[in-house]
Structure 1
Amino acid sequence: MKKQYLTLAASYLAGLLFSLGLAVSGMTDPARVVGFLDIAGNWDPTLMFVLGGAVITTFIGYRWVFKQPTPWLAGRFALPTKRDLDAKLLGGAALFGVGWGLSGYCPGPAIASLGGVSLPLVAMLATMVLGWWIAKRIA
């Protein structure tokens, strides 16, 4: 039972750090994302630095984590086993990219933005849930 509470606390801490990082870096503002995607116009490179920070942190962190025999709060590492590129992956990635580009919201920043709820945010989250529901029905 104690492990369950530690896992829950670690999940909350990770979510808090993630949302604080998004908010502090300005990534909860869809205009920043759209500005990053507008490479032919008024390009905003800040998203590149946030993504770069995430890649560097993950690169270093995974090297350390995988030296451990097991995760601290799980019996084994849960890693993806599928490595092939198929139509579902490519189609889903394309749909995700179109939705991200049109709304300026990625799912994580959208959820982190719930503190300043707006009609475009609600519309994006509602259609994201609808897309998830449709995908579950046709998969």
Structure 2
Amino acid sequence: MRAFVSMLSGILFGFGLALSGMMDPSRVRGFLDIFGDWDPTMAFVMGGAVIVMAIAWRMQKAMNKPVVCDQFSLPGTKLIDARLIGGAALFGIGWGLAGLCPGPAVASLANNLSGAAIFVAAMIAGMVIFRLTERPAQ
């Protein structure tokens, strides 16, 4: 049951990415180009996502446990530090240059293999480099 719900969630997420235009790098870059030919449509996508997450957080607080799991596995909160700011900046720069972020890039492998494959390969290389150079938390 858990695998089915995970697969259904992934399909729904991919469908949402395609429907919203988040898999189109030119639309994403148009949204990020606030001083040029700005395309505000992604603001509506993000606003919709915020509304859905606000509802999901309210529902989660009212539930004792998830529907298909024994317990919730929620991330803890952390202070904003240099590592978080650096990672966010690197993510933003990559998103602006490529017009893709991890979710849409993986979904784009189905319809834009050459462009998405380069991004996904670089993303995986970055993850490997991070794992190889990561220092233990102190």
Q: Give your verdict on TM over 0.5.
A: yes
Shift of residue 34 of structure 1? 0.3
Q: CA RMSD in A?
A: 1.1
Question: Could you list the runs of 4 or more consecutive aligned residues of structure 1 that deviate by over 6 angstroms after TM superposition?
Answer: none
In structure 2, the partner of 1:17 is: 12
Match of 2:115 among 120, 123, 135: 120
Q: Tell me the amino acid that sits aligned with residue 128 of structure 1.
A: M
2:59 paired with 1:64: yes
**Hey, what's the Cα distance between the residues in 2 that align with 1:114 and 1:43?**
26
- Give unmatched runs, 5+ long, in structure 2: none
Secondary structure of residue in 1 paired with 2:109 = helix
In structure 2, the partner of 1:3 is: none
In structure 1, the partner of 2:83 is: 88
Q: Tell me the amino acid that sits aligned with residue 42 of structure 1.
A: D
Match of 2:98 among 62, 80, 103: 103
In structure 1, the partner of 2:24 is: 29
Q: Tell me the amino acid that sits aligned with residue 122 of structure 1.
A: A
Shift of residue 137 of structure 1? 1.2
Shift of residue 35 of structure 1? 0.3
| TM-score scaled by length of structure 1 | 0.91
**Hey, what's the Cα distance between the residues in 1 that align with 2:87 and 2:39?**
26
**Hey, what's the Cα distance between the residues in 1 that align with 2:112 and 2:50?**
29
**Hey, what's the Cα distance between the residues in 2 that align with 1:33 and 1:41?**
13
In structure 2, the partner of 1:77 is: 72
